[in-house]
Amino acid sequence: MAENILVLTPAPIDSPAPDRSTLVEMLRDERFIGEPITIGDEEHFRPGEEFMMLITFLGCSPMIATGEMESEGEQYCHIAIDGPLESPRYLIGDNIKPPRCPGCGHRLDKWRLLLDAWQCSPNAPVTCPDCGEAGSITALRWRKCAGFGRLFIKIWGVFENEAVPSPNLLSSLKQSSGTDWIHFYIRNN
């Protein structure tokens, strides 16, 4: 069964990772998350009472399963907080698209090699073969299908481009953490 996940993470990636307990408390106060549940050996949360107001669903008939969990739990809407992690990592899924240069839009087809190099040397610049612009791999345009961070809020059961975090949720996250947040989508078949 496929995993469809909307992911939120602080930006830029060198921002200090928010304290997990402070973040959980804020998300509970905002009623974004509800009761804790255990999936595998990890703590996840049911959607809270205000979840549907803090995530904006696009289109005329979004599909979101907020009832009982399926046997594997992949399509059931639930939320997990992964981190804070000691060092940044990247998340990608089967929906990955080659990133583009932020300067000229050149498509970087050898993105797997770039990610491997980043793991060995996170500060090494990536140079566009077309325009010569050099910068961090995290500054490439990943087209909302990959992200980098030290803390991730993962919202299972949300299909790619089906929903976005509301301005109110992003504002609450920024107030709680002191930094902006971005979102992207992971799909694993």
58-115 pLDDT, tens digit per residue, is: 876 666 666 555 544 446 899 999 999 998 999 999 999 999 999 999 999 999 999 9
Average pLDDT over residues 35-42: 92
84: tokens are 């804070």
- pLDDT over threshold 90, residue 15: no
Q: What is the pLDDT of residue 1?
A: 64
Locus of tokens 């491997």? 116
Whether residue 147 sits in one domain with residue 136: no
Whether residue 72 sits in one domain with residue 30: yes
In tens, the pLDDT along 150-188 reads 999 999 999 899 999 999 999 999 999 999 999 999 999
73: tokens are 């739990």
Whether residue 18 sits in one domain with residue 74: yes
Whether residue 55 sits in one domain with residue 16: yes
Helix residue spans in 43-128 (DSSP H): 51-54, 111-120
Whether residue 104 sits in one domain with residue 175: no
Whether residue 132 sits in one domain with residue 156: no
Whether residue 78 sits in one domain with residue 103: no
**R_g of the chain computed on alpha carbons:** 17
Structurally, the chain folds into a number of domains equal to: 2
pTM of the model: 0.92
Q: For residue 103, what are the domain limits?
A: 98-141
* Cβ partners under 8 Å of residue 50, min gap 6: 30, 31, 32
